Amino acid sequence: MKNRDFPIVCVTPKAELSLRKGHPWVYGEEITEEFGEITNGGLCDVVSKKGAYLGTGLVSLESKIRVRVLSANPNEKFTPAFWERRIRYALDYRRSVMGADFSACRLVFGEADGLPGFTADKFSDIIVIQVLSYGMEKIKDILCSALVKVLGEYGETVRGIYERNDVALRENEGLPQQKGWYEGLPHSGETFTYITENGIKYKVDFENGQKTGFFLDQKYNRRAVAQTAKGRRVLDCFTHTGSFALNAAAGGAEKVTAVDISETALMQAKENAELNDLADKIDFVCADVFDLLTELEKKGGKPYDYIILDPPAFTKSRKTVKNAERGYKEINYRAMKLLPRGGWLATCSCSHFMKSELFEKMLLSAAADAQVQLKTVEARQQSKDHPVLMNVPETDYLNFYIFQVV
């Protein structure tokens, strides 16, 4: 089938089934034939073994994901108006679901918004983008222009767009790592800004902070902790820049201890605590969480009645899931042993390879070993600005639970 000038790739029946179910990726080994000149970052039509049209997508010649399908409409025209429409859909959705929280949220979440390999976060009047696919890199100017245009229609001022393309995944696409101001627009020289989330102020270092500068996906999970922390002695593990600790303190916790192995992160956490007049309610400890939990258990006693576990992703591939499961079990087991009966545990994982079923199985095993039972208070996901597209399981990556130990 060929109804326009795009080159064509023919795919296996397995890939056809996946595409018909709505998953947008075609892997290199799933392509059986190619017709026409396939160019890196260009568009191609995808067809079945029998020639049935399945969709049109962007090509990445150096990636395992060879084609990222954008649309299954054979009459679609991929003009700047198409990309602006995708940006507008994404931003309109955030305005609908985030309300007042639109000032600091994820504006574009890759595949979930039909813009595979493109992320945009809003931190007040700064937009931070991350471009992880070759095709998105080629149309970056169109996307940035559309972001500024649509935000302007909402009355939102953009002080500048900053690129956080300092990630190894770009090398899989044949793209260099880099970070810095997007030069297609005027910008401010300062590489930090301030946001307010759940009534708490944060200084966001979008040049050097992890990912795009701040983890927006736990916004409402932090609020859930704040609502359950009143009067409790809280241990916030892997505190990073202090967000869970700050929410617990603001929620009326009796005392909060915030732990991280990074001195730099703790300095930022202390600065955020001072911003919110909460420094006297939080102790900051530089330590390895695994070692600290073991030491606390050896000392005996129950110094905390609320423990928060927000570790970095222990696995970024299927090959390391078993090792990750052991790591998650270790810290959760130690936390359960430390908590008194009636104590509270907030725990999470942030890798889509750690499926909720596997995470819950791990928690049950840890609870059995710790000789406790877990009463589920809440089971949550990432915030609504990181929407889960049901037919793309990779967009579902954050498991978050609050339990009472009984």
CA 40 to chain CA centroid, nearest Å? 27
Q: Contact, 383 vs 218, CB < 8 A?
A: yes
Q: List the one residue out of 309, 324, 330 whose CA is nearest residue 238.
A: 309
Q: List the one residue out of 303, 208, 216 whose CA is nearest residue 256.
A: 303
Determine how many CB atoms are found less than 10 A away from the CB of residue 380. Answer: 16
Q: 71, exposed or middle or buried, with CB in 10 Å at 0-12, 13-18, 19+?
A: middle
Q: Contact, 256 vs 234, CB < 8 A?
A: yes
Determine how many CB atoms are found less than 10 A away from the CB of residue 239. Answer: 27
Residues making up the chain, counted from first to last = 406
CA 333 to chain CA centroid, nearest Å? 26
- Three-state secondary-structure class, residue 201: strand
**Residues designated catalytic:** 350
Give the whole-angstrom CA distance, residue 224 versus residue 202. 18
For residue 375, list its beta bridge partners.
Answer: 404
- Three-state secondary-structure class, residue 216: coil
CA angle 215, 220, 222 (to 5 degrees): 70
Q: Contact, 139 vs 116, CB < 8 A?
A: no
Tokens representing 330 are 């270790």
Give the whole-angstrom CA distance, residue 201 versus residue 196. 4
Residues 6+ positions from 50 with CB-CB distance below 8 Å: none
Phi, psi at 156, each rounded to 5°: -95, 130
- Amino acid, res. 256: V
Q: How would DSSP label each residue in 290-352? A: HHHHHHHHHH-S---SEEEE-PPPS-SSGGGHHHHHHHHHHHHHHHHHHSPTT-EEEEEE--T
DSSP class of residue 208 equals T
Q: H or E segment at 47?
A: strand 43-47
